[in-house]
Structure 1
Amino acid sequence: METATGQPRAAADGKPAGSFQIIVFKQGNEEYALSIDQIKEVVITPTITRMPQTLPYIKGVANIRGNIIAILDLEEKFNIKRSEDQHTGNHYTLVVESEDFKMGVLVREVPNTVTIAATDFDEATNIITDATSESNYIKGIIKVQGRLIILIDIFKVISQDVTSALRKSTAA
């Protein structure tokens, strides 16, 4: 179970209690995840219209169910090299919504929903992070079935500059 911020709920000893659900997707050759609470829906990516003067990793805007939303490419934002097998086929968009904005996160494979035991989650307190980053967007690492999955907080990935760009690009 999670708190309203998407963090695993802590037991009396401070460790996460129970289990929680995540959406797992690949970026390059690595697996990343978002808390299911941060995802509104997953759709096949529609046509993306480029917008001038936006950050390079904001690919443009798309019409998803009548809503114009910005499409963000995390591979480009995180400077992740794409796998060779990720250049063809359908792409998917994880639609993320907060009080301030709606946006889509571009993924190249069908994302999976996985239920994780809290004991498989290690918080990011001792993980090497970008010292220049204003906020740590890596929530932790999930160890499951011999895999390491990087759990990120998509809301922390978005800095104020990106939030401003998203508001401009999706203004009606």
Structure 2
Amino acid sequence: MGEELKVIVFALANEEYGIEVDKVRTIERMTPITRVPKTPAFIKGVINLRGVVVPVLDLRGRFGLSESEPTDNSRIIIVAVNDLEVGFIVDSANDVIDIDTDSIDSPPEVIGGIKAKYLRGVAKLGENRLLIMLNLAEVLNKNEIIQLEQLED
């Protein structure tokens, strides 16, 4: 058996995804987002989270999926990557589970239209449940991190 990995499970366009709990700061309900000019369309803007300005991305837009209007289930998952806090808009955040690192396979080239570089792998949970593990470092690649850091200034 591999190590146990604690993961936050969230949904995007009928697929389940996972982010390691230790990278997640907090999960927030949708809140008004202040748009920032001259940013890519998937960067929705910034929110004021308890006095801290946090850039917010729409993960659907980031992955090239069709964007949808937020619902009562929509959440902003605040993650920390390299001392930068960023919010991801997701359709819902459902669960915290433990998965065995041995159950994570390398990602296929494309899953649900999402390029493999954004994915860390696919975890098999039971008979027919798959959890797509995100590679946060790629989801926020260096060029975008530079743009996001400029938003915080």
Counterpart of 1:140 in 2: which secondary structure? strand
Aligned to 1:142: 123
Aligned to 1:9: none
Letter in 2 for 1:154: L
Q: TM-score, normalised by structure 1?
A: 0.77
Q: TM-score, normalised by structure 2?
A: 0.86
Aligned to 1:155: 137
Aligned to 1:89: 72
Please state how far the C-alpha of 1:136 moved relative to its aligned partner. Answer: 2.5
Letter in 2 for 1:94: I
Unaligned runs of 5+ in 2: none
Identity %: 28
Please state how far the C-alpha of 1:129 moved relative to its aligned partner. Answer: 4.9
Within the candidate set 30, 33, 38, 1:45 is matched to 30
Q: 2 CA distance for matches of 1:67 and 1:53?
A: 21
Q: 2 CA distance for matches of 1:79 and 1:35?
A: 23
Within the candidate set 102, 115, 121, 1:119 is matched to 102
Aligned to 1:23: 8
Aligned to 1:72: 57
Unaligned runs of 5+ in 1: 1-15
Please state how far the C-alpha of 1:147 moved relative to its aligned partner. Answer: 0.8
Aligned to 1:10: none
Within the candidate set 33, 46, 68, 1:61 is matched to 46
Letter in 2 for 1:163: I
Deviations 1:84-138 (A, max 9, x none): xx743252111111334211011121331111123322133xx2159xx8x9331
Cα gap change, 1:149 to 1:123, in 2 (>3 Å) = same
Counterpart of 2:39 in 1: which secondary structure? coil
Q: Compare CA radii of gyration and give the structure with the larger one.
A: 1
Counterpart of 1:94 in 2: which secondary structure? strand
Q: Is the 8 A contact 1:55 1:165 kept in 2?
A: no
Which structure shows the higher strand fraction? 2
Q: 1 CA distance for matches of 2:74 and 2:109?
A: 30
Q: Kindly tell me the number of residue pairs found equivalent between the two proteins.
A: 149
Runs (4+) of structure 1 moved beyond 3 Å?
none
